[in-house]
Structure 1
Amino acid sequence: MIRFRKFGRVELNVTDLARARRFYEEVVGLQFVAIGADGELLLRCDHDHHNVVLHEAASAGLRVAGFALEDEAQFAPLRARLEQAGLQVQDVSPSLCARHMQQRAVRVYEPLVGAVIEFYLPLADAARPFLPSVARIQRLGHVVFNTPKPKEAIAFWRDVLNFRVSDAVGEMVTFMRVWPNPWHHGIGIAKSTSHSLHHVNYMVSEIDDIGRALSRLRKAQSPVVFGPGRHPASESVFLYFLDPDRLTMEYSFGMEAFPEEHAREARELPLRPEWLDAWGSERDPRCFTGAGPNSTPDLVSEGA
């Protein structure tokens, strides 16, 4: 069975790189790492070399979602399963791996969520302390994909990639663990009419980080589009807000953790307001809509 460490990196397209850098550093609280060879911006929120990459583009949206594997031995069964499922697996070039502080990485275009997915092994010596600024971020938490084919996508991530379903709220969204990572979900599959980014999550260390963010977001004129509230499924306190390109971001505090063995059964929860937010906040219609389609297949060859 394929074993993962975590959801560890995300690449986003933004329409104004300088504006996005100010927002993600000063408002979200990510730490600047470097400017890449192609002008992309590398940022971090935990001990990894970087977790977030921003690329300037004509339209905003998800570019790449990256998942760290447990060790080198996972690449062979991963490639076999992906190729058996009919996907073309592309090795990321050694030069790009070096720029990303990775031992090895592969990419595929996953058509059911409509995104380029990267599987990688970070360099062991890439770790260094993360210095929190405006928010005490612990880690990149999860990514949720909008897709018109949620049932097929859930089956792929469960049966091919060995992710585990934790809970589903009606047919609206299904939460899946990056097994054997313990957190309630590292990805979500959300039902939509098109492919786009639903949201990216940052897990913070204190509930005060949620409260302090409210005034900081207001000063930055970043719309708060859902919360603060509590998700009964994952037990997380949440706050959703929009970045300058209207991509949805989330802070969350606390989350159910699962043991590797003898985990509870997945639940099918009713699609009712109280299962979305136990505190009763109302969601802004701009929440979770994304700014454009997810990444395209040509980005797989970019890793060559």
Structure 2
Amino acid sequence: MLRYRRLVRVELNVTNLGRSSKFYEEIVGLTPIERNPDGSASFLCGSDDCLVVLHEFPVPGFRSIALSLEDESAFEGLHRQLSEHNVPYDVAPSEECDARNLLRAWRIAEPNSSAAFEFCLPRATAMSRTFTPTVAKIQRIGHVVFCTPRHAEAVTFMRKVLGFATSDDIDGVITLMRPPPSPYHHGVGVGLGARHGLHHVNFMVSAIDDIGIAMNRFKREGVPIVFGPGRHPASESVFLYFLDPDGLTLEYSFGMEEFPEVSPREPRVLPPVPASIDGWGGIRDPRMSATGLIQPYRAGSGWQAFVEGVA
């Protein structure tokens, strides 16, 4: 079984880097680090050294996700899994690893959505900056959820090849998974959708007050709230969804079911009804998860093999 440490980075495409950088710092509450050699902007997200990286691109959406593996031996297991299922991968050049403070990194394209998944092993050195809570006490990037018309196939790939464990499934709507041995209810989700796109990025906060304070902050700043506050019956999280300047959907959440590594409960299949999504009876704004495409990655063509167009 593949073993992971945690979700360490999500990279997003935005249409105006300056505008979005200000939003993610001042409204979301991330700590800016630097502009990278490729022109992207990096932000610390919580005390777990999670990173959000923004790239300026004509179409807003998802660029890549990175998960750290438990140790060097995990790469051997990953190699076996990818080889057995004929999944090509790219190896990060040494200069790329040095720039990202990594020992090594591999990247694949999830074959159903062409979403870039990176697997890495960070160096055991402290980052040059630390996360400083400002408008919200963010703990970490909680999860990333995709949508694709090939929902069932993508879930099968993530389970059988990447070794993710299903926590719960809202029948025909969304599947919520965790990269073992992570205890958190889900770190990756796959929803059924008409396009290959970003559903939302989640930031876990450490106090329920952060949810209430954010509601008032968003109202003052004209930030659209598209769902919540509410409570997800599956994960038990209290949630609040809102939009960034491009209309990408972000989420604050507080609290989440945690699974023991040994003898976790079996995954559940919840009925496809509104009460399975919000136990408080909220109604989603139709703008939620309506914007944001996956920038396809072409594995086996080199580390920077992102397609200029989108799916």
TM-score by length of 2: 0.94
Give the corresponding residue for 1:155. Answer: 156
Contact kept in structure 2, 1:116 and 1:300, CA below 8 Å: no
The alignment status of 1:68 with 2:68, answered yes or no, reads yes
Q: SS at the partner of 1:52?
A: strand
8 Å CA contact 2:7, 2:50 repeated in 1:
no
What is the CA-CA distance between 1:15 and the residue it aligns to?
0.5
1:290 aligned partner: 291
CA contact (8 A) 1:173 1:191 kept: yes
Q: What's the counterpart of residue 22 of structure 2?
A: 22
Equivalent residue letter for 2:91: D
Gaps of 5+ in 1: none
Give the aligned partner of residue 82 of structure 1.
82
The residue correspondences of 1:120-131 to structure 2 (distance < 5 A) are 120-127=120-127, 129-131=130-132
Shift of 1:289: 2.1
Q: Kindly provide the CA deviation profile for residues 245-292 of structure 1, in whole angstroms up to 9, marking residues without a partner as x.
A: 111000000000000010000000111111110111110111112323
What stretches of structure 1 move > 6 A for 4+ residues in a row? none
Shift of 1:96: 1.3
Structure 2 portions without partners, runs of 5+: 306-311
1:138-153 mapped onto 2 (5 Å cutoff): 138-153=139-154
Q: Secondary structure at the match of 1:302?
A: coil
- Most deviating of 170-179 and 95-104: 95-104
1:172 aligns with 2:173: yes
Secondary structure at 1:42 match in 2:
strand
Check whether the contact 1:107–1:303 (CA below 8 A) recurs between aligned residues. Answer: no
Specify the SS of the correspondent of 1:301.
coil
The change in CA–CA distance for 1:300 and 1:164 in structure 2 (over 3 A counts) is farther
Counterpart residue type for residue 267 of structure 1? R
Asked if residue 207 in structure 1 is aligned to residue 217 in structure 2, the reply is no
Contact preservation (8 Å) 1:92, 1:303: no
Structure 1 position 228 matched with structure 2 position 229: yes
Aligned equivalents of 1:50, 1:268: Cα separation in 2: 31
Would you say how many aligned residue pairs link Structure 1 and Structure 2?
Answer: 304
Partner of 2:255: 254
Task: Tell me how far apart the structure 2 counterparts of residues 293 and 123 of structure 1 sit (CA, whole Å).
Answer: 29
C-alpha separation in 2, matches of 1:126 and 1:37: 21
- Return the offset for 1:156: 0.9
Partner in structure 2 of residue 266 of structure 1: 267
> Is the 1:109–1:297 Cα contact (8 Å) retained in structure 2?
yes
Change (3 A) 1:272 1:136: same
Contact 1:114 1:147 in 2 (8 A): no
Displacement after TM superposition at 1:299 (Å)? 9.9
TM-score (norm. length: structure 1): 0.96
Question: How far does residue 229 in structure 1 lie from its aligned partner after superposition?
Answer: 0.3
Mean alpha-carbon deviation: is it higher for 84-93 or for 276-285?
Answer: 84-93
Structure 1 partner of 2:115: 115
- DSSP-derived class of the 2:142 partner: strand
Letter of the structure 1 residue corresponding to residue 158 of structure 2: W
The percentage of aligned residue pairs carrying the same residue is 48
Q: 1: CA distance between counterparts of 2:78 and 2:51?
A: 22
Deviations 1:211-249 (A, max 9, x none): 111121122222100000000000000000110111100
Post-superposition CA distance 1:131-186 (Å, at most 9, x none): 11100000110000101111111111111111100000111001001111000000
Closer, same or farther: CA 217–300 of 1 in aligned 2, 3 Å: farther
The aligned residue for residue 35 of structure 1 is 35
CA contact (8 A) 1:137 1:204 kept: yes
What letter matches 1:206 in structure 2?
A: A
CA distance in 2, matches of 1:16, 1:199: 19
The answer as to whether partners of 1:107 and 1:300 remain within 8 angstroms in 2 is no
Find the aligned partners of 2:49 and 2:34 in 1 and give their Cα distance: 10
